[in-house]
Structure 1
Amino acid sequence: MMYNRFSAITIFFLLFLLSSGIQATPVSDTVSLHISALPEQEGIYNIKKYGAIGDGKTDNARAIQKAINAASAAGGGKVIVPSGGVFLSGPFDLKSNIEFCVEVNAKVLANPDEKVYIKSAFRDNKGEGTIWIGGENLVNVTLCGAGTIDGNGISFMGAELEDSYVLKPFTNVDPRPHLLTVVAGKNIRIRDLNIVNSAYWTVHLIGCDDVAIDNITLLNSLKVRNSDGIDLDHSKNVRISNCYIESGDDCICLKNRREYEEFGPCENITVSNCTMTSRSCAIKIGSENMDRISHVVINNCIIKKSNRGIGIQNRDEGTVSEVLFSNIIIDSHLFSDVWWGKAEPIYVTAYARASGNHKDAGWRFPKGEIQGRVGEVRNIYFSNIKCTSENGIYVGGESVGKVSGITFDEVDLQIGKITPIKGGLYDRRPANVEGIIKGRTSAFYIDKADGVKIRNCAVTWAGHKADYFAHVLETHDSGELKIINLEGESAFPGKVEAIKHYGRQ
């Protein structure tokens, strides 16, 4: 009787397993369970179960969206892009309460067909790209995994030039897709991912609150213009750490775009332990800033082979204040005029935006206005920064008081020729004053700034000295200046003064 009852229970259990879709194979006197993938009850949503094919040719946007929608509808879950496949995809949207996990040796690849990208990255301003991976009003979203999200950027470019790609002409909509655009997100996490080859901005976070970006490798072609790495737009309470970023345009950029003005200031931002390379500016604040950017700390970073190192480029009525840069190594050198910047390792400026017939000029100024104005840049601190460059630090504003309270403490510069490109230039684009101006290369060039403090800094000149190399410090029409222990000689002692003042001081 005991044996018969056990047999009945065993048969019932096996029938239950078969009806549940779980395979059971007896081995010796035991039962081994082979679970292909537990159904949605366990919160796992493999995109292959929704029809995705990882052949690098089939567009999987619908299958990916189905998996995301199913996870969201169930209250949340993990959407898996499984290892071993290249999953081509057109645009799709993230949803709240999901973890989008790209497994190791898996790739999500942007569809190179420009016609599938129709949603503007900037609402009614259609001239600055479209959205590939998007999402609005998101809560509790994580993008992670050791796999790759690939924007397929070169597919959207024109002919290759020596240091850039030609941008294809368009009439109304620029089809180049931004890789990831999140609008009004809260508790957003991006970690442990490879994000590569964006055709336009890569990670664009708009009006987001409580964001952590950690341990990502972000590699764009250094020849792709507008290929920013991470853009924080009207966002707050953001932490970026332990990232490696290469991008043709700015690696990390803080801004307040006019298209999303309802989201308010960009504030409470920390960046730490990152390594960056850029043809434009590795760390930039601006140039679009119609609100306030404040309370920013950037620490323990390395900037290599960049054009500009650190840039505050205020061009609109918004303000920039309470920003601290510390413990940074900067290596910068000259590139062609395609890229903004003239190898300034540190650049702090406030000039009203230039008016003109740029394709999106109507979106650059306050509604109904055709000329811009610029807000103040104040209380900016640089501490323990070591610079090697072909140019010096540039601090300038359109009038005294627009830039004030700038402190350089233990900021050392070594200036020398690295490229055959001629220097002796400073780049103020886009501004209502002359864009690229000729001037001698001085280690500190201060133009119409007030309350500048230079403390415990040193300047050296290395290798061949260009004939336009000049002073340790040069000021033009500037206000209060405090110098405490500034070491160094001019590029040509006995012929050129170490410190030279022009105008008020």
Structure 2
Amino acid sequence: MELLWKSHMNMKIHAIKLVYILLLVTLMSSKVAESRKSKMIRSSFEYNAINCRAHSVSIKDFGGVGDGKTLNTKAFESAINHLNQYGSEGGSQLYVPAGKWLTGSFSLISHFTLYLNKDAVLLASQDMNEWPVIKPLPSYGRGRDTAGGRYTSLIFGTNLTDVIVTGDNGTIDGQGSFWWQQFHMKKLKYTRPYLIELMFSDSIQISNLTLLNSPSWNIHPVYSSNIIVKGITIIAPVRSPNTDGINPDSCTNIKIEDCYIVSGDDCVAVKSGWDEYGIKFGWPTKQLVIRRLTCISPYSATIALGSEMSGGIQDVRAEDITAVHTESGIRIKTAVGRGGYVKDIYVQRMTMHTMKWAFWITGNYGSHADKNYDPNALPEIRNINYRDMKAENVSMAARLEGISNDPFTGICISNVTISMAAKAKKQPWTCNDIEGITSGVSPKPCGLLPDQGIKKIKACHFPSDYLPIDMLELQKCSYSL
């Protein structure tokens, strides 16, 4: 009987073990399936772009190592050289997966997308040998930092068509402190590099990225057209030198939308060449729309027009702008010798918190390329329109300084309320050599901007039509790796 009982118990234990093993196998199979499913989800992604690509590779396929220490400049160059063959076959994409990818400067190609995973970080090399030196821009005549040439930007391209730099909010870290120190100690022979610069190019998209600590300017499209900059976060210390956010320069048909910028210089700086070089080159920036921009820059402007504006700036439209702890809201910077023009500027629905100036127009900016500028080359500033704005904790409402015998004309300001700071200037407006009108503006503007009354002027003009760049519809691109 005892033997029978033991046999029964052994069978029961065996059955329990068998059930346990079956449950364990089922659970493991379920986890493997979930893991496979998760892996499959992680290896596919979607994004919106001006064009999708027929061919896609990973930087790992070309020996890239994302450990933050291995230099990947040659891996990027090899991958892009390989992908160049697909330009006429549906274009190509280079995928940068999660990791820290140390690299020097590299150049893009046409019909190409550089895509950064959300956990990918491009780390800019601090070895100057990784940054080739190129000639100054022809519209500047010299480097911005020095009279010599300039270091190529981290991501560079010239004479391109259909080029995209985007991601799932991946990061490009310029590791700029090294360059800032060299600049402050005046040890640089050439102008500092930018993070992204595309020259003489058409159909550009830069979107959904975080840019950190650029050596100098962050995004610089120059001599280019049909440009979208969207969903960009830019962050640099507020005392870092010349870390401008987005600088469209001698460009046409540009859209800047949904960007957040903290920098040591202007958040958006619109440019078109410097003194006699910009006048001779004669390539304006025009048809620019800026929407939903948030800016923090205690020592510079939210949107600056100039100071290098010698090729001209025309038809700039900015709306739904937020400035927080920023030196000035809208600033026009120019000087005798610049020539060129800034005209047909329209700004509406802007909110400002803790500002030194809400509006600032400077006709004596100086800072010339060299001593060869023409003192008779006077800039033309006219048809400047600001409307529907609120500002609080402002030290001075406006500082509007034209040029003697060259007044800035057609300034219109309407429906603007500025709340002054507790220790604000006793004279909230200073004006000289300007002409214009106002309506519904508080505090009361200077005498050169007489109040026309609500009945005579309801609002300064803002165009109701759309620029060509607004007509461009992005495609939904889907990829599996």
Q: TM-score range by the shorter chain?
A: 0.7 to 0.9
Q: Write out per-residue CA displacement over residues 430-471 of structure 1, whole angstroms, 9 at most, x where no aligned residue.
A: xxxxxxxxxxx4233221112x11101122xxxxxxxxxxxx
Instruction: Give the CA deviation at 1:485.
Output: 4.4
CA distance in 2, matches of 1:192, 1:172: 34
Find out whether 1:79 has 2:79 as its counterpart: no
Match of 1:483 in 2: 451
CA distance in 2, matches of 1:95, 1:263: 27
CA distance in 2, matches of 1:292, 1:332: 31
User: Residue 176 of structure 2 is aligned with which of 137, 142, 153?
Assistant: 153
CA distance in 2, matches of 1:247, 1:100: 25
Find out whether 1:167 has 2:184 as its counterpart: yes
Q: How does 1:297-336 map to 2 (within 5 A)?
A: 297-315=317-335, 316-333=338-355
Q: Write out per-residue CA displacement over residues 414-435 of structure 1, whole angstroms, 9 at most, x where no aligned residue.
A: 11147xxxx75xxxxxxxxxxx
Q: Relative to 1, partners in 2 of residues 1:350 and 1:369: Cα closer, same or farther, differing over 3 Å?
A: closer
User: Residue 91 of structure 1 is aligned with which of 91, 105, 110?
Assistant: 105
CA distance in 2, matches of 1:416, 1:275: 21
CA distance in 2, matches of 1:185, 1:248: 28
Please say which of residues 222-231 and 253-262 is displaced more in the overlay.
253-262
CA distance in 1, matches of 2:376, 2:174: 34
Find out whether 1:108 has 2:122 as its counterpart: yes
CA distance in 2, matches of 1:263, 1:92: 29
Greater RCO between the two (CA within 8 Å, min separation 6)?
2
Match of 1:193 in 2: 209
Instruction: Give the CA deviation at 1:344.
Output: 1.4
Q: How does 1:13-412 map to 2 (within 5 A)?
A: 43-75=55-87, 76-83=91-98, 85-120=99-134, 122-123=136-137, 125-126=142-143, 128=145, 129-130=150-151, 131-146=153-168, 147-158=170-181, 167-170=184-187, 172-174=189-191, 176-258=192-274, 262=281, 264-278=283-297, 279-315=299-335, 316-333=338-355, 343-351=356-364, 353=366, 361-362=369-370, 368-369=372-373, 371=375, 373-388=377-392, 389-412=394-417
CA distance in 2, matches of 1:215, 1:171: 33
CA distance in 2, matches of 1:416, 1:71: 57
CA distance in 2, matches of 1:345, 1:114: 40
> TM-score when scaled to structure 2?
0.75
CA distance in 2, matches of 1:70, 1:213: 27
* 8 Å CA contact 2:312, 2:342 repeated in 1: yes
1:448 partner letter: D
CA distance in 2, matches of 1:61, 1:317: 41
* 8 Å CA contact 2:396, 2:429 repeated in 1: no
CA distance in 2, matches of 1:323, 1:308: 16
Instruction: Give the CA deviation at 1:294.
Output: 0.5
CA distance in 1, matches of 2:388, 2:135: 38
Q: Relative to 1, partners in 2 of residues 1:224 and 1:405: Cα closer, same or farther, differing over 3 Å?
A: same
CA distance in 1, matches of 2:250, 2:107: 21
Instruction: Give the CA deviation at 1:171.
Output: 5.5
1:296 partner letter: V
Instruction: Give the CA deviation at 1:170.
Output: 2.3
- Aligned-partner SS, 1:66: helix
1:109 partner letter: L
- Aligned-partner SS, 1:484: coil
Q: What are structure 1's unaligned runs of at least 5 residues?
A: 1-26, 28-33, 160-165, 334-342, 356-360, 425-440, 460-471, 487-505
Q: Relative to 1, partners in 2 of residues 1:77 and 1:172: Cα closer, same or farther, differing over 3 Å?
A: same
CA distance in 2, matches of 1:371, 1:243: 38
Instruction: Give the CA deviation at 1:391.
Output: 1.5
Q: How many residues align?
A: 390
Alignment RMSD (CA, Å): 2.7
Match of 2:437 in 1: 453
Match of 1:490 in 2: none
Instruction: Give the CA deviation at 1:127.
Output: 5.2
Match of 2:11 in 1: none
Instruction: Give the CA deviation at 1:114.
Output: 2.7
CA distance in 2, matches of 1:171, 1:56: 26
Structure in which a larger fraction of residues adopt helix: 2
Q: How high is the sequence identity, in percent, across the aligned residues?
A: 25
Instruction: Give the CA deviation at 1:400.
Output: 4.9
Q: Write out per-residue CA displacement over residues 479-498 of structure 1, whole angstroms, 9 at most, x where no aligned residue.
A: xx431349xxxxxxxxxxxx
* 8 Å CA contact 1:309, 1:331 repeated in 2: no
1:173 partner letter: Y
Q: Relative to 1, partners in 2 of residues 1:484 and 1:183: Cα closer, same or farther, differing over 3 Å?
A: same
- Aligned-partner SS, 1:158: helix
Please say which of residues 270-279 and 441-450 is displaced more in the overlay.
441-450
